[in-house]
Every structure is written in structure tokens, then in C-alpha cells.
Structure 1
Amino acid sequence: MNLQSSYQELLDKTSKKERKNINIYIGLSGGVDSSVGAYLLKKDGFNVKGIYMHCFSSDDPKCRANQNRADAIKVASFLKIPIEIWDFEKEYKKSVIDYFFSEYKKGNTPNPDILCNSEIKFKLFLNQALEKGADYVATGHYAKILYLENGKLQNTNSKQILISKPHDSKEIRNTSISNNNIVCYEYSKLKIKNLKSHNNSINDKLEERQNHYYIASGEDMWKDQSYFLSKVQNDVLNKILFPLGELYKNKIKGETLGYKSTRKIANSIRLPVCKKPDSTGICFLDGIDFQQFLRTKLSEKEGNVYNLTNQKIGTHKGICFYTIGQRHDFVIKKYIGKPLYVIRKDIKKNRLYVGTKENLYKNKLSINSVQLKIPENSFNSLVGDKKIFVRIRNLGDFCHVISFKKNKNNEFILRLEKPLFSIAPGQFAVFYYIDTFGKKNTEEKIIIGSGVIF
């Protein structure tokens, strides 16, 4: 099976002359990755527009939002592409920040970056861009979008498994965005039609294949961001491009393996942000202290710390400020000679239970809010073939799923081949199908579903 990223496929199917008439709106964050992505799109001949998404503002002097916006404008000027500022702060608060605080209040450990991608970048941004004339949107994510021929996964023993079928419904549901009168379509049951006649022939070919695109890990295993994209709906992927999917971020790691590196490209063209460090942690808190931000909405409530034999051994500042696997910020009055970690939390009794590192390993995983991108019987078959792996954090280990049971509440109970470390309720468990697809010395890791750990 010949697998190509959607970006490489578009390059192969179009000439430079045709690309001049293909409009691509790229999310320009002011960082190195999206800036190099914009450069590559322009270099390859597309008509590129940068969009800076304003999603969050703060009075905290450490907040980098203003600097990031200024950097995005500077990059657009350097690349000689137009740029617009789109305000999604209201929608971002509702979809991402309110969820963030709500989950911490429940004692869970949420992942707001996943919601940012599924609800903001690849819903609001995507839909508004298409309404304004974009043929595609792009971002600087290190991930790939792959087309699977005939909607089938073919594993190494040539057994084919149906993974998708076209939607028949033409139902459209409209939702207004903010106060700007832009209409946002829910694309789960809609085949996107491009209104520009000069691109109809290209788009018609791709529309037929709409439901056979899947997100896969990027080539750079140290930077792969596919986990954060796990809730993006498959039927909009034919309108999304990831120009960095086959690049490495780090010069040394990438080039020793024969790949181009993003940093080297940025330095070679002297991008204004080529020396800018990577952002780390939760995207909207860029520069802001995490614990201080939590305390803007959540109050401290002192409680007791217990060991796993139910003995009271210390105190804590409030359940919501701790996550599973944490080993600091609680007071232990009875030292046992080993480091202690948060093992579980009792939100009703305001109790924190701690134990040793060994107590954090589990080979059983319970998830709800499951969204499979393939039929359930196909998922079950692939589990039996030992082709399904699960990841419980970004850049975490891929662990074999050896069995799963589904209860009447649509919850999945998974049994894993080996124990995973520090399984935190509220985090996402992401399912990957991993196979060589007949290629030598390489594997593709394709997302086929996700759920929330409880």
C-alpha cells in the first residue's frame, strides 16, 4: 500500500502554476514551527495567508500573547504574505478554559491542548477560513495526514479490515460565531464543496476520498504531536495540511537520519524568530505560572494525606492542585525512607493517598466518552490481531491493548500487555493502529480513536 502524507500528495497532483490559485490559510502563532510551515507553503507555490488566532489574554506580565502576536506579524512581513488577526477569545474561554477549570475542580487532570485543536483550530478556524475562500488550512504541527486506499487497513498478513464508509446524509447544522456573522458548519455529515471554479477538478477528486484520511504520527518521534490531534474529526482532514509532518525539529537528530530540520530551515532563511525557544506546557499559559493560574479560580482547601494502608501521615493544600504521580507540594510528617507519589484522590473526603513509585504502575485502563474512528467490530478484530496500541500522554509509550470489554454505559475497560506509569483520570487515552503497510524499516502510527480516562 502506497501511503503519502496529504501535503506530499497535493504537491504531486498539482503543478506550480495550479498552486498559485490554491488558497491556504495557515495558523501563524509567532513561533518557529508555524513560521517555517508558512515559508514552505509559499516556497512550494501556494497562495498563502497567515492567520493569528487571538485566544487568550491576561494582565500577568509574564503572558507572552502580545509578543507572539507581534512575532507573527513580523514573520508575515518577512515572508511577504498577508496576515489577519482573528479573535476567538470568547469561544476559547467557553470550549477550553472553562473545561480546564471544571476538570481540575473535579480532581481530574485535563488536557486543554486537545480541546484547543478539536474545537478552535480545526473547527472555528477551519470553518471560518473555508467561508472566507480558503481551499485548505495549515498549521505547524509535527504530524501527518494519510490517505488509506478504499478505506481499508491492510496489515502485514494481507488481511483487510473495513475502517470507514461514506456518509449519506446531507444534513447541515449552522452555528453562529461570536458577533462577526460568520456561519460555522458542522462538517460531521457534510461533504465540503469548494466554491472556486478553478479548483473544482482538484477538489472533486479529493472530496470522493474525504472519509479515508487519518491523522498519523510525524516522522520526528521526539516532537510528534499526533496525540494532541486525536479528537479532530476525520471528515475534515481533506481540508487540512501539515507541512512539517516529514521534518525533524532538531538539527542533529533529524539530519543524522537523513531528514531536513525545521531549525536549520529557519536559520538558513534568517527568519525573525529563528532563535525563539520552543513553548512548553499548556499552550495558552505560555509564560504564566501554572499553579498561580489555577488559584485565580480555585481556592485552597487543606486536607489530610494518607498512605495506602489508610494511615494519616501528612497534609495537602487542596485536591485540585495535585495530579497522579506528583511527588511534591504535600507535607509528610512520617517519613518512610522512600520518595512518595500521589496514587489516588478522594475528592469527596478531600483526601490524598500516596505510595511508592511501584504503586503507580497499572496494566488496566478504564475510559469513557469513547470516540472510535472505525467500526467497533473492526476495532475488536484489530485488538485480537495485536495491532492496537494506546498512549496516555503526549510522547508517552505505545502500549499493546490485549483485550477490551465494553459495559452498558459505553465505557471501555482495557487490559494492557505491560503496566503503564501514572494513569491520571481526566487525561486522554488515544488508540493507534501501527503497521508497516508493506514498507521496509518503517512503521506508520495511525490514530483510530480516543477516550477519557476515569
Structure 2
Amino acid sequence: MRILAAMSGGVDSAVAAARAVEAGHDVTGVHLALSRAGGTLRTGSRGCCTIEDAMDARRTADLLGIPFYVWDFSERFRDDVIDDFISEYKAGRTPNPCLRCNEKIKFAALLERALELGFDAVCTGHYAHLVSTVTGLELHRAADDAKDQSYVLGVLNAEQLAHTYFPLGETPSKALVRAEAAERGITVAQKPDSHDICFIPDGDTRGWLAEKVGTATGEIVDREGAVVGSHEGAHAFTVGQRRGLYLGVPAPDGKPRFVLEVRPVTNTVVVGPKEALAIAEIAGERFSWAGAAPVDAEFACEVQIRAHADPVPARAFVTEEGVRVIPDEPLNGVAPGQSAVLYVGTRVLGQFTIDTTVSAVPIGA
């Protein structure tokens, strides 16, 4: 196959590209420039897609003896990921920019260009693997639970899966990938993993949003509507947050309060006891299936609401309005804007963006 290897400059994508070459594929490497402010170098393990990362990717491509290019996707990244991130926070939602990047950039914009240029598939260093069945390809969890990335790939559809190549999915551990990189002479064998949001490399999401959205004084209220504090912008808060509330009125029982809801229209933040974070039901209108859609409109599954959260057994209901999920036990601290990924065993069924939640603890209880 003609393979376009997306090379971030990290060890995972480097080994993935090396394995694609070793498997006999015709491989070309590409690094995506996602920011036009490219003068920064990476600091420690924060951020990604910097000049340093592009140079690391090029060195690996040279070692493998494959063609290498840098493609400027900064405008598309700004429109589809950064602007979406800002608008979601302004709407009182908690987005997942890594999932959106996979959906809009790596497996949409990049894959579209790859197919236009005659490539058969895009290769990445994601930890997940594909299984071919009589009904088509299925997306499954990686062999290494600690590194499994199937959650952020839950947005991929059947057509995208058909042109995707995950060489690392069945590798038992990240340590083996690093050891293999060292054996191959890949210079990034011990390079730290990136974390945090790549376009906020200092990790100060609150400060970054304040610069982009601005500040506006608003009220912090309890579940009954009583004012217990104030803030400088509702966008700076997310469901489940405990720190940085600076409440002027203590709770009657003296226990800590947590953010339960963000209301952007009134610039209000709702707080309450930890118990009220328990969610009995979630639903969303925007959904997609990773491969063949479920046969039945109601089915048993497991639902996962964060990249490294434990899956929870649940019942899902699919209608023309969207997907509704009732977990067997309450979910904790779910925020609108998060993605709920549905599994059956190791298989990813699909995902939806959470629009509404129903608390397991009624007001006044």
C-alpha cells in the first residue's frame, strides 16, 4: 500500500512509520504544522507540533529513508479546533480538542488530501487497532490499557477506518515501543510524551481563555439560586471543579462545593455538594458510528466519558433526536460538551457529544 505516515516528532509515530516501512509499504512521512507562530521550542513534555518536533520527525524520516514533507494545516486547525474550543467554552460546554483534532484534522483534512494524492491509508502512532469482520472493519481498544487511545478515535466513521493504519495497537506496552525505537536508532526513543492542550503549552487554560474571551463579573449561586460568590467569567469554570471558586458564603454543612453547571447566557456558575455531581442520564444529538451501526435501537453497552475513565455498563437508546444513555451506576462530574464513547467489550461502537445531563440527586434532596 501507499502509506502517508503522520509524524508528530514523537516516539510513537516514529515507530509506527518504521513498522510500515518494514512491512513493505511505500511510505511517505508528513508533519503537520498546526501553528503559524512557529518560533517556540517545546519545553519538557508540554505541547506538541513545534519546530523542534518537525525537526525530530525529519530526522526519523531520513533514518528510514522515506520522503518527508511539512504541510501547513494551521488555518484549518485554527478554524476547526481552536475556534471550536473557544466557542464551546463560551457556550458553557467543556470540549475535547484532541478528539476534535482527530475528527477534523488527522482523519478528515489529512486523510482527504492523502486520498487525493493517491495514498491508500494514513498511518499514525495511536494505540488502537482494527479488526476485520463480515460486517466490515471494527475499531477496538489497544492491547495496552494504560496507553489505549480508542476514546479519542471514537469519532472515526467506517469510511475513515477503511483508510487508517494503526501499527502500534497490539503492542503490549509503551516501554516496548521505546525499546524498539532505541534498537532502530531513532533519536526520540526517550522523548517525553506530550500532555496538556497543544495550543496552550503552559497549561494555563483559564488565563488563555480570559485573553480570548475577556472577563465579565457574574454570580456564583447554589442549587436553590442563593448567591454565594462572584467570578470574572463563567467560561473559566467547568463541571466538577473545586479549586479557585473563592466563595464568600460557606455551605451550611461546611463541606466543599463543586461546580455543577455553567450558564453562559446569564454568566452564572452553579455550585453544590459533591453528591450532586452524580449523573443518572446523558443525551446528545450529534453522534456517529465507528463502523457498522447497531442493529437495535436499544442495546446494552459500556459508556466512557473521558479518555482514561473506567467504562461503565449502561443502556443506550437511539432515536431520530439522538442518543440517550442510562448508566447502571451514576457517572461522576459529566459536563455538556464532553464526548461519550460507547463500547461493547473492546469494540468501539461510536460516540456522541453530550448535550444534556440528569442529576441522580434532585434539588433539595
TM-score range for the pair, normalised by the shorter chain length = 0.7 to 0.9
Matched, 1:360 2:277: yes
Judged with a 3 Å threshold, the aligned counterparts in structure 2 of structure 1 residues 285 and 248 are, in CA distance, closer, same or farther, namely farther
The residue number in structure 1 matching 2:117 is 132
Give 2:213's match in structure 1, choosing from 298, 304, 313.
298
Task: State the 1:103 CA deviation.
Answer: 0.6
The one-character-per-residue Cα deviations of 1:9-49 (angstroms, maximum 9, x if unpaired) are: xxxxxxxxxxxxx3211000001110111121222332221
Report the CA distance between 1:214 and its aligned residue. 2.1
Question: What is the deviation of 1:449?
Answer: 2.1
Checking the alignment, whether the CA contact within 8 Å between 1:316 and 1:329 is kept in structure 2 is no
Q: 1:243 aligns with which of 152, 156, 167?
A: 167
Task: Work out the CA distance in 2 between the residues paired with 1:288 and 1:115.
Answer: 18
Partner AA of 1:46 in structure 2:
H
CA 229–86 in structure 1, closer or farther in 2 if over 3 Å, else same? same
Task: Give the direction of change, closer, same or farther, for the CA distance of 1:411–1:43 in structure 2 (3 Å limit).
Answer: closer
Supply the distance in 2 between the matched residues of 1:287 and 1:82 (Cα, whole angstroms). Answer: 33
Task: Give the direction of change, closer, same or farther, for the CA distance of 1:75–1:62 in structure 2 (3 Å limit).
Answer: closer
Equivalent residue, structure 1, for 2:76: 91
**1:427 pairs with 2:338:** yes
**Deviation of residue 109 (structure 1)?**
0.6
CA distance in structure 1 between the aligned counterparts of 2:182 and 2:347, rounded to whole angstroms:
32
Q: Find 2:155's aligned residue among 223, 231, 239.
A: 231
Partner in structure 1 of residue 308 of structure 2:
395
Is 2:86 the partner of 1:101? yes
**Aligned sequence identity (%):** 32
Q: Equivalent residue for 2:45?
A: none
| TM-score normalised according to structure 1 size | 0.72
Please report how far the alpha carbon of residue 222 of structure 1 lies from its aligned counterpart in structure 2 after TM superposition.
1.1
Equivalent-residue separation in structure 1 for 2:39 and 2:110 (angstroms): 26
The 3 A distance-change label for structure 1 pair 234 and 374 is closer
Instruction: Report Cα offsets for 1:123-153 as digits up to 9, x if no partner.
Output: 221122223232322000001111122x1xx
The 1-side partners of 2:62 and 2:179 are apart by 20
Q: How far did residue 276 of structure 1 move? A: 1.1
Per-residue CA deviations over 1:40-64 (Å, capped at 9, x if unaligned) read 1222332221100112233785665
Aligned counterpart in structure 1 of residue 262 of structure 2, from 345, 351, 355 = 345
**Whole-Å separation in 1 of the counterparts to 2:133 and 2:293:** 18
Structure 2 residue matching 1:378: 3-state secondary structure: coil
Unaligned segments of structure 2, at least 5 residues: 43-47, 356-365
Say how many residue pairs are matched: 347
Distance 1:332 1:402, change over 3 A: same
Q: Which structure features the higher share of helix residues? A: 1
Q: Gaps (5+ residues) in structure 1? A: 1-21, 152-211, 252-260, 435-444
Following superposition of structure 1 onto structure 2, how do residues 53-452 of structure 1 map, counting pairs within 5 Å?
53-58=32-37, 61=40, 65-149=50-134, 151=135, 212-251=136-175, 261-287=176-202, 289-336=204-251, 337-372=254-289, 378-381=295-298, 383=299, 386=300, 388-402=301-315, 404=317, 406=319, 410-434=321-345, 445-452=346-353
- Give, as a single letter, the amino acid of the residue that structure 2 aligns with 1:429: A
TM-score of the superposition, structure 2-length normalised?
0.88
Aligned pair in 2 of structure 1 residues 24, 361: CA closer, same or farther (>3 Å)? same
Q: 1:287 to 1:365 in 2, by over 3 A?
A: same
3-state SS of the aligned residue for 2:146? Answer: coil
